[in-house]
Amino acid sequence: MTWSEGRPVAMDLYYDPVVDEHVPSPLGLIAPVWYLAPQRPDVARSAWELAVSVAGLDGNSTVGLEDPGFASLLALQTGEFDDGRIRRRLWEALDDLHEPTRDQGSGEFTFGFGLEEPHPRGQLNARAMAGWVCRPGAWSRIFELPSDGRFTAPTVSGVDFPDVALSEARWDGTALHLAAVHRNPAAGGFTEVTVSNLPPGGNWHLQGADTSPVPVEEAAGSAPLRLVPDGRQHQVRRN
C-alpha cells in the first residue's frame, strides 16, 4: 500500500518478486473498500474519498461513471459512507447514464448499463442495489456487533424468492417481526413461509398491522405461516 501524508493513495495491483517491482494503482485501493470497511474503516474511508474525488462527485462534475464497473462499485461503497449530497449526485448519474428499467410484467427494477444484453447483468445490479439499501455504517456493524443468538433465534425459511422478499425479519427477544414484499404488487394473494426455533411453551399467534390475531400451529418450535406480501409488518408472538 502506498501512503502520502498519512493517507493511503494506492495499493499494488501486482508485485514481481523476481525483480522486486511493485505496480501500484489507485484502483487497487478502491476495489477492496467493501472488505476493508469492517476491518480498517480509516483506510476504507480514505479509499472511498479518493474514488469520490476521482469521479468528481465532491465537486460539480462526474468523471468515469459511464463505466458500469466503476459506477456500480462506487454505488456499493457509497451506501456505507454517505447519505447526503454525494449519494444523491451518484444516483442521479446512475439514473441518467445506466438505463434504469422497470419491467411492468414482473415488477422488477434493473439497470441495463448500456450492455445491450438480453438479461440484466447480475453482479453489477447486485452492487448497485446493495449500495441503495445500505445506510452509513450498516455493513460494518454486521461484523462489529455479531449476535450470539443468530443460529438459535427464530429463523424464517421457505421464502418464495425472487417472487417474494422479506423486507424485515427480526427477533426482538419476545416477538418475531416480519414484512414480506411481492416483486409484482399486482400479484396479490398470500405467500407461505416456515418459522423454526420458536421458544417452547405458550400459544403463538400471527398479528397483522390491522388484522385480528390468528393462531399459529406450532409443533416442536416450528410453524407454517401465511403472509400477505404487501410490505406491512406482521408479528409472531405468544399470548
d(CA 5, CA 239) in angstroms, rounded, equals 61
Q: What is the pLDDT of residue 147?
A: 67
Residue 52 to residues 2, 26, 71, 141: CA-CA distances in angstroms? 18, 12, 11, 23
- Nearest alpha-carbon partner for 106 in 183, 217, 53, 29: 183
User: 0.85 exceeded by the pTM?
Assistant: no
Q: What is the CATH number of domain 155-238?
A: 2.60.40
Residues in the chain where the model's pLDDT stays below 50: none
Q: Which residues contact 54 (CB under 8 A, 6 or more apart)?
A: 26, 30, 63, 64
Long-range contacts of 125-128 (CB under 8 A, 24+ apart): 125/72, 127/72, 127/73, 127/75, 127/76, 128/71, 128/72, 128/75, 128/76, 128/94
Residue 211 to residues 60, 149, 161, 169: CA-CA distances in angstroms? 50, 30, 25, 19
d(CA 14, CA 12) in angstroms, rounded, equals 5
- Nearest alpha-carbon partner for 30 in 17, 16, 13: 13
Q: What is the pLDDT of residue 219?
A: 93
Q: Which residues contact 76 (CB under 8 A, 6 or more apart)?
A: 34, 127, 128, 130, 131, 134
> How are the residues of the chain apportioned to helix, strand and coil, as percentages rounded to the nearest 5?
30, 30, 40
Residues 40-59, buried b or exposed e (16+ Cβ, 10 A)?
Answer: eeebbbbbbebbbebbebee
d(CA 80, CA 29) in angstroms, rounded, equals 16
Q: What is the pLDDT of residue 66?
A: 96
Q: What is the pLDDT of residue 129?
A: 95
Q: What is the pLDDT of residue 151?
A: 82
Q: Where in the chain is the domain with CATH 2.60.40?
A: 155-238
